[in-house]
Amino acid sequence: MEDANIELVFVPAPSIGHFVSAVGTAKLLLQRRPQLCITVLIMKMPLSPDAKINSYIDSLIADEKDMNPRLKLILLPEDLDALKGHTDRISFFHAFLDSQKTRVRDYCVNEFHKSSSARRLAGFVVDVFCTDLIMDVGEEFGVPTYVFYALGAAMLGLHLHFRSLTDDHGIDASGFKDSDPDLNIPTYFKPFPVKLLPNLPFFDLSTRIREVKGIIVNTFFDLEPHAIESLSNHNSFPPVYSVGPILNLNPPHKKKKNNQESEEKQIFKWLDDQPASSVVFLCFGSGGTFPEPQVKEIAYALERSGQRFLWALRKPPYPGSVLPTEYSNPEEVLPKGFLERTKSIGKIIGWAPQSAVLAHPAVGGFVSHCGWNSTLESVWFGVPIATWPMSVDQQANAFQLVREIGTAVDIKMDYRVDSRNPKINSPIVPEIVSAKEIEIGITSLMNQYSTPTSVRTKAKEVQEKSRKALEEGGSSFNFIESFFENVMNNLK
């Protein structure tokens, strides 16, 4: 059967990190199979707390005419009535996904059952968050479901391990919080600390993930060889295809406000004046903020370290909101006189064009929350990390970077802002990381000499391997070929 008749339908999650890498994966697959078609069904979450994803979606749709003509973007309609009565975020999210299942089915009925199109639906590629819902649609149409996993292979192994314990042995994952301090997880070659496990609801996602025909992972073999080999050797898990790193280095065109464009120019003008690899860049993702006492500790650490720094400092959300804002005057939360005393070595900014900053030759270190996309960007640009995770998979990513991959040093690996007191359902205020701990981490990161065992040397080695993975004959290139063999073998 010719590839000309084959179409995959992508269903990404309405989360910026997952959505961007899923669209990037779709584009990569189209590059490898010139006659393949892909439709991306976009779920735009109403009242979304993540304004960034809605802005990205709007820009992507506006630029559709400039994209590959075989990539089609379909914005699914909303069903606000289905969301009434759901007040907490988890319930709201599940109700939203359930309402979108009907929209996905309706689209496929119109496109592949009622139309005279010669295209043949070969399967769904769905985000791990959407697996359980969309698998029902796939079964109705008699086509396989594949998962797109936007996190790393080791984390996938952790996810599958706990699903296996629950499904095959009836073991409740909640019991592990009070178990031995370390666990033996097959995708980690060192004992995994219990205190770094994601919050327990994470393991309730995708109860049917082991039923899918394959899992596409945004990673590459030389970054996580042990994890990928472990997954590949497990007979009860679906085949895994590491096709990354998938990065958003060329985002859709978006008209910038004059002040934002001016701020970007100032950032890069300042970086241009700094020596090579001399600047530590502090950035904690689109939602990463700290209370004032912690901001002051970071400032004390930077000043005492004497390191050149570029710090993306965001203001915590207002009550009733989840979106960070910008400080009109950062001095209100910084130690008195800090900006004046550090003006020759440092710069405070708000929102940062992260990948562009990491690409600048002046940047020699990255203090990061260790989100997987940020991790892959640091790998791609060869910038070592000082880890300061906050939530979900980030503590596990920090452990992997420091203890297994070797491209990072630790500041506070078990830091959390997503813990909740079940009795009052409110966030537990995280502990304050001291200026001394932060200073030690930053100094260790920036004073790494290029010895064979340094994180800086290791970061450069992995950077080179990340580029080769996507080249013809590279590991990710070959995994893409294997994925297509899987798709063709599952055609009926």
Of the pLDDT bands very low, low, confident and very high (cuts 50, 70, 90), residue 424 is very low
Span 156-172, average pLDDT: 86
pLDDT higher than threshold 50 for residue 253: yes
Span 431-452, average pLDDT: 88
Q: Which of 18, 159, 161, 360 is catalytic?
A: 18
Higher-confidence residue: 341 or 116?
A: 341
pLDDT, position 423: 39
pLDDT higher than threshold 70 for residue 473: yes
> In whole angstroms, what is the distance from residue 217 CA to residue 245 CA?
9
pLDDT, position 50: 53
> In whole angstroms, what is the distance from residue 486 CA to residue 389 CA?
36
Of the pLDDT bands very low, low, confident and very high (cuts 50, 70, 90), residue 420 is very low
pLDDT higher than threshold 60 for residue 426: no
- Among candidate residues 11, 24, 14, the one with its CA nearest the CA of residue 380: 24
Span 180-192, average pLDDT: 90
pLDDT higher than threshold 50 for residue 146: yes
pLDDT digits (tens, 9 = 90+) for 85-114: 666 666 777 778 788 888 888 888 888 876
Span 5-20, average pLDDT: 88
Label residue 345 exposed, middle or buried (CB < 10 Å: 0-12, 13-18, 19+). middle
Q: Return the ∠ at Cα 327 (arms to 325 and 333), rounded to 5°.
A: 120
Structure tokens given for 148: 């797109």
pLDDT, position 97: 79
Percent of the chain at pLDDT > 70 equals 83
Per-position b or e across 155-173, b if 16+ CB within 10 A of its CB: bbbbbbbbbbbeeeeeeeb
Map out the domains of the chain with their CATH numbers. Answer: 3-249+470-489 (3.40.50.2000), 258-467 (3.40.50.2000)
pLDDT, position 108: 86
Q: Comparing 163-167, 231-235, 268-272, 311-315, which segment has the lowest mean pLDDT?
A: 163-167
CA 4 to chain CA centroid, Å, is: 32
Strands 420-421 and 426-427 turn out to be: antiparallel
**DSSP H stretches of helix in 322-407:** 338-341, 354-359, 372-381, 394-399
Span 232-242, average pLDDT: 92
Please state whether the peptide bond connecting residue 324 to the residue before it is cis, i.e. omega within 30 degrees of 0.
Answer: no
pLDDT higher than threshold 70 for residue 129: yes
pLDDT higher than threshold 60 for residue 256: no
pLDDT higher than threshold 50 for residue 421: no
18 is catalytic: yes
Q: What is the mean pLDDT of the chain?
A: 86
Of the pLDDT bands very low, low, confident and very high (cuts 50, 70, 90), residue 320 is low
Q: Which of 50, 127, 132, 222 is catalytic?
A: 127
Higher-confidence residue: 401 or 74?
A: 401
Span 177-190, average pLDDT: 84
pLDDT, position 425: 43
Span 428-435, average pLDDT: 82
Total-model pTM: 0.91
pLDDT digits (tens, 9 = 90+) for 356-409: 999 999 999 999 999 999 999 999 999 999 999 998 899 999 999 999 999 999
pLDDT, position 171: 77
E strands, 326-461, where? 346-349, 363-368, 385-387, 408-410, 420-421, 426-427
